[in-house]
Amino acid sequence: MVYSSFTFLFLFLPVTLAGFFLLGRRDEHWAASWLLLASLAFYVSWNPAYLPILAISILGNYLAYRAILRAPEARKTIWLILAVAGNLLLLGYFKYGNFFIQTVNDLGGAAIHPLDVLLPIGISFFSFTQIAFLFDARHGKAQDVSLWRYALFASYFPYIVAGPVLNHKDMLPQFANRRNYTVTANNLAVGLTLFAFGLAKKVLIADNLVPVVDAAFAGENPQLLAAWVGMLAYSFQLYFDFSGYSDMAIGVSRMLGFQIPFNFDSPYKSANVSEFWTRWHISLSRFLRNYLYIPLGGNRHGQFKRYRNLMLTMLLGGLWHGSNWTFVIWGGLHGLYLCIQHGWQAIRGKAPGTPRRGVVAVNRILTFVAVLVAWTFFRAPDIHSAMDVLMGLAGLNGLAAAAELGPWELSMVGVSAFIAFLMPNTNQIFLYFENRFPDAQAAFSLLRLQWRPSLRWALVTGVILVIGILNMERTADFIYAQF
């Protein structure tokens, strides 16, 4: 059961909302318990075999959290290390066990049989969410919480399949606030509108780019135009697929009265790779910064260790995405980009004044091309396939046109580029009106659109939602659900 399914939209969501708000009028504890049951039911709908794994993870982490709170200061770190190791072992067994076995077989000529395991959906997200909670508990930054409220936080269905990565400081105070268990017209309107636009991103844009992407990776040695069109299509498919999912998750949560953090902010408009990572998968970027890069030492111990920490953080961030060397290379490329950027800035020094528009435009193009090159490894099934596409991008496989691509496919790439580079994002349209982001740097856009609870926006939302629903029958799986 995914967001872009009839079962979710016409059965699960209405029943969940109705039960939540009816119980919320009587007692917030009953409403929260209903939401916990709904979250577990949503998770079970993917595969009932996943539930014991999620339950063991939640219970084990909660017991570790209580042990950290009770332990004397000298032993708190020991409990944290044991708990984090437990999470990583669980994650490693299900997600990386066969990757390790395959690597040993390839390097040592062994013939170890692969593990017969089924990757639990969302294991990376609920593992990282709980690791962050334990880390903050060790440092006295986590509030006291009961088991059932912690279980709701760890299994909350809007995030569990593909994020955003939640932080307890954002969610637990909301779950404890009685006012969030009362239905409001504003929450329903904002949430439904966000959901509608996220659904449109997914089924009208991302899914229509799939044939173009598949054509670039279907055969060997794609030529210049096919490689470039295919990689442009994949860059936009990934963005609209994942940002569409995030918008739907934020919208569903908002209908319930809870605000989860936005996860994208026009990343392809970034002028450097550092800015890209403040705009792409924002919740994961914050996790990697706060719970990996800074604990490694950050930039506090000289330039060499700063570059080392950047590389380690991005390599591990790449490995988090999947058990394949292509993801490690993708993370390593971004680590290299960041090191080059910071090294250049250190040599050049801080330039006075505001950069000229032409310089900013060139920086944005260079940043996007660098990101696109790295996406090649993210998408390719193996290193050989990625190198074939890179050679195609460089024109080394020939310069012939991509005859198999028709005007519809090419126009979809053009429309996607226009929206990604020149139009306002959903945060600017639907969330900035609430002044939730007073310090945020709004991304460039040709138009200024701002949502209001009005009849005009209701009609726009209704039309987009209907068109999205009519196209749900041929929807593809969410890309990030596999991570």
* 321 given a catalytic annotation: yes
Nearest C-alpha neighbor of 198 from the set 156, 152, 125, 260: 260
Nearest C-alpha neighbor of 136 from the set 287, 312, 277, 259: 287
Count of helices and strands (H, E) across the chain? 23, 0
Spatial contact of 321 and 327, defined as CB atoms under 8 Å apart: yes
DSSP secondary structure, 217-236, as one string: HHSSS--HHHHHHHHHHHHH
Distance CA 75, CA 368 (A): 47
Under 8 Å CB-to-CB from 141, ≥6 apart: which residues? 169
Catalytic one among 281, 321, 334, 342? 321
Omega of the bond leading into 164 within 30 degrees of 0 (cis): yes
Residue type, 331: G
Residue 210, burial from CB neighbour count under 10 angstroms (0-12, 13-18, 19+): middle
Buried b (16+ CB within 10 A) or exposed e, 33-54: bbbbebbbebbebbeeebbebb
Nearest C-alpha neighbor of 483 from the set 318, 335, 373, 325: 318
Spatial contact of 134 and 64, defined as CB atoms under 8 Å apart: yes
What is the CB-side half-sphere exposure of residue 404 using CA atoms within 13 A? 15
Instruction: State the first-to-last Cα distance of the chain, in angstroms, to the nearest integer.
Output: 17
Residues with catalytic annotation?
A: 321
